[in-house]
Amino acid sequence: MTHVFVSTQPDDAHAAAVLLVLAARGHRVTRWFGGDFPGRQSISVRVGDATAPSFAFEGPDLAHDGDGLDVVWHRRPVSPRVPRAELHPDDVAHAEAENHEFFHSMLAAFARDAVWINGIDAKRRASSKLLQLAEARAVGFAVPETLCSNDAAAIREFVGQAPPGQTIHKSFLPLQWGLADGIATSGTAIVTPQNLPSDRILRLTPGIFQRRIAKRHEVRATFFGDHAVAVAIDSQRHPDAHVDWRSVPACERPLAPIELPAEVHRKAALIMRRLDLLFGSFDFVVTPDGEYVFLEVNEAGQFLWKEDQCPELPLLDLCCEFLVAPSRDFRYREQQTRVRLADVAGSPEFAALRARDVAIHGEVTAPWRGPTPAVAPPSARIT
């Protein structure tokens, strides 16, 4: 039996599906919802001369001593959520800083003998967009010409040097908030000298500015160890998906399973090693000439949506096999007893588990609903 510890959030369908499959196969899964800490959850760590550090987690739907873990899937960790209303306003900043320091200090010492997917240090390094681009160039991938900056003059010069419509903006982190007439997001968007915000906004919101790459289609390749599952995304079929394929419904950006070219697979696997990742989701643009241009690698990217659209892809089964025997050289071999996402997601057990999670732990990833922030990334203000 393998014991998998999953740090995640209540509305994570991936973790819920994996729990049901692994439990049915005789393995143990402990899910940890970090957003319950500290208001509804306690964590204690004891360290002494004669013993290794011991851990105790107590909270809703959780009682765990931290022992006997084989794998930690650092899936969708949630930082502490301090109940501000229960504290004096002058103490909130200190309480939040103390909670975050304890939380991350605890994680650094936790389950040191387990295999982490992905390790904390690797996760932190791999989240650097600039490091990703540098590593991609180092292994031989083409990358878009890029400027990351909060220097308004440098940004305006970079944007102005390109023909109209040939520069895009991306934020370093996803952003979503409520408006009176819907929800605004900071997706990828075209920027021009005319629609850039004020110099002050540019100064206060560093961003990623890149030359737009001509596309035949796009590719999402998910690596589990050395095993990759790739799909071609027909982002050019729908005009609203030309810049960002995530902006249109799935039915309007069809997927097709593909095999990565051997050289692309080799380079991506090398990036995984250089960033010390066991799991990663790569995004590429494939140009009209067939060249793969590296965009980014997400060390915790979603992947079951690909099986949802292409049921022949065994992503849920593959993930479960990977979690019980993770390694850098992992290769999946499909069995006749393959479990299918449609069967799990359509089961009453899955529906009951999802409902129970939200009832006990709440909706933690709903968009923040408040007034439009005074400072927003350029792409969030461009239609």
pLDDT in tens, 301-329: 999 999 999 999 999 999 999 999 999 99
Q: What is the pLDDT of residues 183-216, one digit of tens each?
A: 666 678 899 999 999 999 999 999 999 999 999 9
Query: What is the domain extent for residue 23?
Result: 3-117
Res. 55: pLDDT tops 60: yes
Phi/psi region, residue 276 (left: phi>0; alpha: psi -120 to 50; beta: rest), is: left
Q: What is the pLDDT of residues 220-237, one digit of tens each?
A: 999 999 999 999 999 988
Q: Which of 117, 144, 179 is the last residue of a domain?
A: 117
Residue 313 within a domain:
yes
pLDDT at 177: 66
Total number of domains in the chain: 2
Q: Which of 92, 117, 142 is the last residue of a domain?
A: 117
Q: What is the pLDDT of residues 336-355, one digit of tens each?
A: 789 999 999 999 999 999 99
Confidence of residue 374 (pLDDT cuts 50, 70, 90): very low
Long-range CB pairs of 79-87, under 8 A, 24+ apart, other chains included: 79/34, 79/35, 79/103, 80/34, 80/35, 80/37, 80/38, 81/35, 81/36, 81/37, 81/39, 81/364, 82/38, 82/39, 83/39, 86/39
pLDDT at 190: 92
Rounded CA-CA distance 314/334 in Å is: 8
Residue 237 within a domain:
yes
Confidence of residue 9 (pLDDT cuts 50, 70, 90): very high
**CATH code for the domain in which residue 225 is found:** 3.30.470.20
Residue 170 within a domain:
no
Residue 147 within a domain:
no
Q: Which of 117, 135, 150 is the last residue of a domain?
A: 117
Residue 303 within a domain:
yes
Confidence of residue 363 (pLDDT cuts 50, 70, 90): low
